[in-house]
């Protein structure tokens, strides 16, 4: 158990005991369930972090399945507890009667949920609609429902516990042989190679599988960066010493970075079904339910009497379920929802309903959508009571318009990504990072996220949850115009940029589009101050993962050229090329850079993939 009494979610016995004990407790107040729910959500976040942070080669399949099952079980238990607390609340609905309308009204706002419930105690046939003033959520009821023993609940969970769990990506670099013969030099760790010789081919860092014709091969590299404490000292050694750690492989070329997936046909998305690879729910989930109002307590001759029904929380069917009314048309239900201030919708969101049978979000059954961007309010009509979410294109902010990586202190830098809608600035210091600012239309947003130090993974999760997605997924290349680059060029560049980022600034270059798939082009400048880099201080560099060079052209040149800059030469690494022009102070700063800082920079670079999505 943790210091606060919470179980360790990674230990099955502890998490199972926690769930079993809570499941046995009955008749809990909604306030207690909300408070306990925050603890459950914290456990779910820890499990998500373990799934994302653990390297794929260290995460066993059994443990992976265990974590996912624990997440689903915790989500199910929490939803069950909300239903039990709702039933407990409705049994004493008359104690929450409003003095003006005579109907039950309860609204509770918490950091993770907004709970609103209305009970129809008076059954006034003139009733048309109700608005929860505190939560700014409301509904319009058909007359047949307004005269029934019914309660309406709008349970807004600020998180998405409905959508299917997304698969955790396991990236690797796929290498295929070309028809023409050529040689490719690949750097890798000889120490790991020796250890790999004692293991099976599946466990080694470099696996070569030859086909029967002996001409083609596939090579898999680990995607994670490995930083040895003596790495900075090793970088000073001459390339002839590094040649001991070089393996030459003939007849291979590197294909674009992609995720290893089973060779199955792509899933066909039906009409009105939301493609969760292209779109993403933002702002949580709204469970809008019509519930049967249980018998209320009555005062009879000094006695309090109540009819007890052992049926649990019952939903009120609308439209009515009968063969006679199957083809009948019923009035639609109006709904008004207040959007969260903690999320950003860059465009009008799409309203989707959950189809529990098909396990998917759908857009049919919803009409007359009206969106007020300034008021952060949306209203619509639906033909039944549904669980609702608001959908946004997951790739609105891709491709990026520009990016910049600029050091501004010891083991500290500012990472800026500019998109069509926003400018996102992230600060990295040591192994931590934080959101410095998000500027949209000249004003700063998401103040609740800015200024809080966290891990790179937690920052990516928080930004995506807030609707700011600058982190390509496994399927993003299908929906974004990508500047394709080979993994050898792209990933190696991220690693070497991170290695020298403590003293050198990097930025986007328009010539990266003209350099082809095998090479990346970017701007570089030595930067030991905290102010912005001047335009004249930038130089253009080109790198393919094996050969680095400084280009003669500038960002304002009329045409692209691979000609070397005067008095420069080729180098095998970006570090050795930069070293030719760097000051002693800059090199000393690179040597002293923390390995944790280098890794944090690399994590954000590989998460945003600025070289291919700009």
Domain residue ranges in the chain = 12-86, 94-165+271-322+329-393, 402-608
Q: Match 């690693």 to its residue by tokens.
A: 495
Residue 359 contacts by C-beta under 8 Å, 6 or more apart in sequence?
164
- The confidence score (pLDDT) of residue 170 equals 44
Instruction: Classify residue 272 as left (phi > 0), alpha (psi -120 to 50) or beta.
Output: left
> Which parts of 334-486 fold into alpha helices (H)?
456-465
Burial classification of residue 215, based on how many CB atoms lie within 10 Å of its CB (0-12 exposed, 13-18 middle, 19 or more buried): exposed
Residue 113 contacts by C-beta under 8 Å, 6 or more apart in sequence?
34, 37, 155, 156, 157, 158
* 231 DSSP assignment: H
Contact 604, 415 (CB under 8 A): yes
Name the residue among 389, 591, 582 with its Cα closest to residue 502.
Answer: 591
- The confidence score (pLDDT) of residue 377 equals 95
Q: Say whether domain 94-165+271-322+329-393 belongs to CATH 2.60.220.
A: yes
CA 513 to the chain's CA centroid? 27
Q: Match 């294109």 to its residue by tokens.
A: 393
The Cβ of residue 343 has, within 10 Å, a number of other Cβ atoms equal to 20
Specify the long-range contacts of residues 318-321, CB closer than 8 Å, at least 24 apart. Answer: 318/142, 318/145, 318/290, 318/384, 318/385, 319/383, 319/384
The Cβ of residue 147 has, within 10 Å, a number of other Cβ atoms equal to 16
pLDDT tens digits for 373-401? 999 999 999 999 999 999 999 999 999 99
Name the residue among 38, 61, 63, 40 with its Cα closest to residue 50.
Answer: 63
What are the tokens at 360? 């998917």
pLDDT tens digits for 498-540? 999 999 999 999 999 999 999 999 999 999 988 889 989 999 9
Report in angstroms the alpha-carbon separations of 107 from 115, 152, 356, 506.
6, 12, 27, 50
DSSP-based three-state secondary structure for 139: strand
Contact 364, 346 (CB under 8 A): no
* 338 DSSP assignment: E
What is the rounded distance in angstroms from the CA atom of residue 611 to the CA atom of residue 583? 27
With a cut of 50, which residues of the chain have pLDDT below it? 169-229, 231-265
> Which parts of 165-277 fold into alpha helices (H)?
190-197, 231-234, 239-242
Strand partners, 315: 291
Name the residue among 282, 601, 332, 313 with its Cα closest to residue 464.
Answer: 282
Contact 578, 504 (CB under 8 A): yes
Q: What are the backbone angles phi and psi of residue 286, rounded to the nearest 5°?
A: -110, 110
DSSP-based three-state secondary structure for 69: helix
Task: Please calculate the CA angle 326-329-334 and round it to the nearest 5 degrees.
Answer: 120
* 400 DSSP assignment: -
Model confidence, pTM: 0.82
Report in angstroms the alpha-carbon separations of 247 from 192, 267, 333, 339.
13, 40, 68, 56
Q: What are the backbone angles phi and psi of residue 432, rounded to the nearest 5°?
A: -110, 160
CA 472 to the chain's CA centroid? 9
């Amino acid at each position: 158990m943790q210091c606060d009494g919470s179980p360790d979610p990674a230990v099955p016995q502890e998490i199972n005991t926690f769930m079993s004990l809570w499941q046995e407790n009955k008749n809990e107040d909604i306030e207690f369930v909300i408070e306990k729910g925050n603890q459950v959500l914290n456990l779910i976040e820890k499990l998500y972090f373990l799934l994302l942070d653990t390297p794929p080669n260290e995460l066993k399949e059994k443990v992976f399945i265990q974590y996912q099952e624990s997440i689903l079980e915790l989500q199910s238990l929490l939803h069950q507890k909300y239903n039990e607390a709702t039933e407990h609340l409705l049994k004493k609905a008359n104690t929450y009667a409003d003095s003006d309308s005579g109907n039950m009204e309860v609204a509770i706002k918490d950091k993770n949920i907004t709970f609103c419930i209305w009970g129809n105690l008076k059954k006034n046939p003139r009733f048309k609609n109700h608005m929860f003033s505190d939560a700014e959520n409301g509904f319009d009821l058909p007359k047949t429902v307004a005269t029934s023993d019914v309660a309406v609940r709008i349970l807004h969970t600020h998180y998405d516990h409905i959508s299917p769990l997304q698969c955790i990506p396991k990236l690797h670099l796929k290498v295929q042989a070309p028809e023409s013969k050529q040689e490719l030099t690949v750097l890798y760790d000889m120490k790991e190679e020796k250890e790999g010789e004692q293991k099976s081919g599946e466990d080694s860092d470099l696996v070569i599988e030859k086909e029967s014709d002996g001409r083609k091969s596939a090579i898999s590299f680990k995607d994670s960066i490995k930083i040895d404490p003596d790495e900075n000292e090793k970088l000073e050694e001459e390339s002839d010493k590094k040649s001991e750690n070089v393996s030459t492989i003939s007849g291979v070329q590197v294909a674009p970075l992609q995720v290893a997936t089973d060779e199955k046909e792509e899933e066909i998305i039906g009409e009105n079904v939301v493609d969760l690879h292209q779109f993403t729910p933002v702002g949580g989930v709204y469970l809008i339910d019509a519930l049967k109002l249980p018998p209320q307590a009555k005062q009879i001759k000094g006695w309090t009497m109540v009819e007890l029904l052992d049926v649990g929380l019952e939903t009120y069917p609308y439209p009515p379920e009968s063969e006679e009314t199957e083809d009948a048309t019923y009035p639609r239900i109006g709904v008004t929802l207040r959007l969260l201030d903690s999320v950003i919708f860059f465009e009008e969101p799409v309203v989707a309903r959950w189809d529990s049978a098909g396990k998917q979000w759908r857009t049919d059954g919803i009409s007359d959508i009206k969106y007020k961007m300034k008021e952060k309010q949306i209203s619509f009509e639906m033909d039944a009571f549904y669980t609702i979410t608001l959908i946004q294109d997951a790739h609105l902010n891709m491709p990026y318009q520009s990016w910049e990586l600029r050091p501004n202190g010891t083991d500290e830098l500012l990472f800026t990504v500019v998109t069509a809608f926003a400018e996102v600035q992230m600060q990295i210091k040591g192994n931590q990072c934080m959101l410095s600012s998000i500027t949209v239309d000249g004003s700063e947003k998401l103040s609740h996220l800015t200024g809080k130090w966290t891990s790179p993974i937690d920052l990516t999760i928080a930004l995506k949850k807030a609707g700011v997605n600058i982190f390509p997924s496994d399927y993003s290349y299908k929906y974004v115009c990508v500047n394709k680059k080979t993994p050898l060029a792209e990933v190696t560049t991220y690693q070497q940029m991170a290695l020298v980022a403590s003293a050198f600034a990097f930025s986007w270059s328009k010539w990266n589009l003209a350099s082809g798939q095998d090479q990346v082009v970017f701007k570089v400048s030595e930067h030991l101050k905290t102010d912005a880099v001047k335009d004249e201080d930038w130089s253009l560099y080109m790198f393919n993962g094996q050969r680095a060079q400084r280009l003669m052209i500038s960002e304002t040149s009329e045409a692209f050229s691979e000609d070397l800059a005067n008095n420069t030469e080729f180098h095998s690494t970006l570090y050795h090329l930069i070293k030719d022009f760097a000051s002693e102070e800059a090199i000393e700063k690179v040597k002293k850079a923390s390995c944790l800082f280098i890794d944090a920079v690399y994590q954000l670079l590989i998460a945003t993939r600025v070289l291919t999505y700009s």
